[in-house]
Amino acid sequence: MSRDMVEDEGEHNAWPAFVDLLAATSLLFVTLVGVFIYLGSARTRGIETTRQYLFVKLSAASEQGRLYSLDTTDRQFVRIILKEQATFPRNEYQWKTLRAEGKAALTRIAGVLNDTTLSTRYREVRVLGYTDQDPYPSAALSNWELSAARAAVVARYLVDGVSVDPCKITATGRGPYFPIAGKPKEASRRIEIQIVPELKSGGRGDGCDPRGDGSRSRFQEVP
């Protein structure tokens, strides 16, 4: 047998092995893609199921929308809207000026958040303060600071007043930059609470110290 014939036979023998390897690699790739798609779909279904569960409970506690309203259009969070009439008088932002209607609404919301069957279904509660576009009457405070102060008071009431886990609460001021289109400017003066669904149990952030005295901190001061 000539050398050329031996080389040709070796090349022919190599092709089936190469084809098998290519097929196996393709199958592995398709399998991995399928797994990722399945996991992504499962996560989406899990978030949606949790969001719906929270929505039903919060809706039942709202006294048919009298205490607060729920935004059903958001597909990621459970969004609760507290209008100015249920939060603070015009230009006010202190703990003592939080209206009784606002406290009643927050108490109902906290009753849902503190339910043992629900406490592992959310990982964060975001309190967002908004103002209208009229400037604050005193130069000592901007609308941004006003919205942040109001959000902080509401967050503080959730924690100190009705015992929501402080490790899940954040407060943010968004100022006058998010008016509600097509509504009177009074509608823009509001507090929104976003509840972020959780797919697994747990919840406290790394290093969170719920008592605020450093007793549970995982972080050490850098010398």
pLDDT at 28 over 60: no
CA distances from 158 to 20, 37, 213 (A): 62, 38, 19
pLDDT-based confidence at 206, cuts 50/70/90?
A: low
**Pairing, β 122-130 against β 78-83:** unpaired
Distance CA 77, CA 197 (A): 7
Run of H or E residues at 191: strand 190-197
Domain 42-197 has CATH 3.40.50.300: no
Domain regions of the chain by residue span: 42-197
Alpha carbons within 13 angstroms on the beta-carbon side of residue 221 total 2
Stated length of the chain = 223
Cα angle for residues 179, 183, 186 (degrees, 5° grid): 70
pLDDT at 124 over 60: yes
Run of H or E residues at 196: strand 190-197
Region of poorest pLDDT, from 42-56, 76-90, 112-126, 137-151: 42-56
> Under the phi-then-psi rule, with left for phi > 0, alpha for psi from -120 to 50, and beta for the rest, what region is 157?
alpha
Distance CA 24, CA 69 (A): 55
Between 4 and 146, the higher pLDDT residue? 146
